[in-house]
Amino acid sequence: MHENDIPLPPQEITKEKSTIDVPILKPGNLGEHMAVDEKYINGEFYTLLTNGKTGKIALMASTTKTALLGKAMLKFEDKRFDVKILTRDLASNYDWFARENFMNAAQVADKFHVLKHAFEALQDIRIYYRQKLLTQRREAYEAYKFKKKSSPELQFEFTETKLSNKETHRQLLARSQYLLYKKKNDWSESQSQRAIILFKHYPDIEIAYDLICQFRSWYSADQIIDQFEDKAFKMDALNVINQNLDHWMNLVVKADITEILNFKSLVERNRGCIINYFTTAATNAIAEANNNIIQTFIRANRGYRNLDFFYFRLSHFLS
């Protein structure tokens, strides 16, 4: 038990659990830039509220529910109004958490999480084609097993076309995973050759790859405008950033690739907090660094053998 633990609503109480663990709650760790993130520990999702400058944890609670987090946040009182920037991932629950608890803060989508969704959309297209090929092979083998019942001497045969680089389509799609994460200038010679073949046989992957590369260029740190003091210049620059995003969205609509359209929809829903990156330059970098520290504790089994000792070590190390 911890002094700041949150009682669960009566309908959520079980024999094993009647409270939400809040092992860390330190109002003194609040600052102008805070980062909210979730971490999976010992079978539960935790919310961590981290100071974006010092790396100190202000809140750690074993829930991601806005209502329960709100009860813990009441103990921060008026210090919540000191927060000017809150960086977060794209989860809708943290949007409401920010609106209800940090009314003076600009919400900024964490760039790492946004790009993660972009790459997932691109990889989904590659996976789709590979799964189709795997399905064809499975169905051929199932048909072979059925025929073999009446013809025991029958041998399984499944011919796959060899491409110019001696890879099958299945191999090509599997081995193209990593080149899709890179910009063309960063490809090795073998990746460049494989990309030529991949894009020849799967042109929509090339279109999707180009669109994601364009989005990455738009999302570049070179476009950050918070360091400029001239308000008129900043406003003009922000207008250009918005116009370029609109242009990219129009290209996505014309391409009509489902996976990239889905990513575009995500960007549209979170447009405001994504654009705020250019006016604040804020990211969740320190929160992600803390996650790596927590993961190190977990790998050492310190958290699983004795959860209270894990909390104790964490509170002293990061708060």
What whole-number distance in Å separates Cα of residue 217 and Cα of residue 315? 39
DSSP state letter for 24 = E
pLDDT at position 298 is: 66
**What whole-number percentage of the chain has pLDDT above 70?**
91
Contact of 144 with 154, CB cutoff 8 Å: yes
Q: pLDDT by residue (tens digit) across 42-62? A: 778 899 999 999 889 999 998
This prediction's pTM: 0.87
As a whole number of angstroms, the distance between CA 127 and CA 132 comes to: 9
> Per-residue b/e over 258-270, b at no fewer than 16 CB within 10 Å?
ebbeebbebbeeb
- Whether pLDDT at 301 is above 60: no
CB 158 within 8 A of CB 141: yes
Question: pLDDT band at 123, cuts 50/70/90?
Answer: very high
Tell me what pLDDT residue 319 has: 66
Mean of pLDDT over the chain:
89
The domain segmentation of the chain, as residue ranges, is: 6-110+283-318, 112-280
Q: Which residue has the higher pLDDT, 309 or 131?
A: 131
Residue 255: its pLDDT value, please? 98
Q: How sure is the predictor about 303, in pLDDT bands with cuts at 50, 70 and 90?
A: very low
Rounded to an integer, the average pLDDT of 74-100 is: 92
Write the CA distances from 38 to 82, 98, 232, integer angstroms.
22, 14, 38
Neighbours of 45 (CB within 10 A): 13
Encode pLDDT of 231-241 as tens digits.
Answer: 888 889 999 99
Which residues, in sequence order, are CB contacts of 233 under 8 Å at separation 6+? 225
Q: What contacts 24+ positions apart, CB below 8 Å, involve 100-108?
A: 100/66, 100/70, 100/73, 101/69, 101/70, 101/73, 101/76, 102/34, 105/34, 106/276, 106/279, 106/280, 107/272, 107/273, 107/276, 108/273, 108/276, 108/277, 108/280, 108/282, 108/283
**Structure tokens, 179:** 């080149």
180 forms beta bridges with: none
User: pLDDT value at position 20?
Assistant: 81
Instruction: Find the mean pLDDT for residues 183-201.
Output: 97
Please provide the DSSP assignment of 222-234 as one string. GG--TT---HHHH
DSSP letter for 107, please: E
Whether residue 319 contacts residue 49, with contact meaning beta carbons closer than 8 Å, is answered with no
pLDDT of 35 higher than 80:
yes
Domain 6-110+283-318 maps to which CATH number in 3.30.70.260, 3.30.420.10, 3.40.50.300, 3.40.50.720? 3.30.420.10
Residue 149 confidence (pLDDT): 86
CB 267 within 8 Å of CB 252? no
* pLDDT, average across residues 241-251: 97
| 79 pLDDT tier (thresholds 50, 70, 90) | very high
Whether residue 39 contacts residue 294, with contact meaning beta carbons closer than 8 Å, is answered with: yes
What percentage of the chain exceeds 90 in pLDDT?
A: 60
Tokens of 128: 């789709």
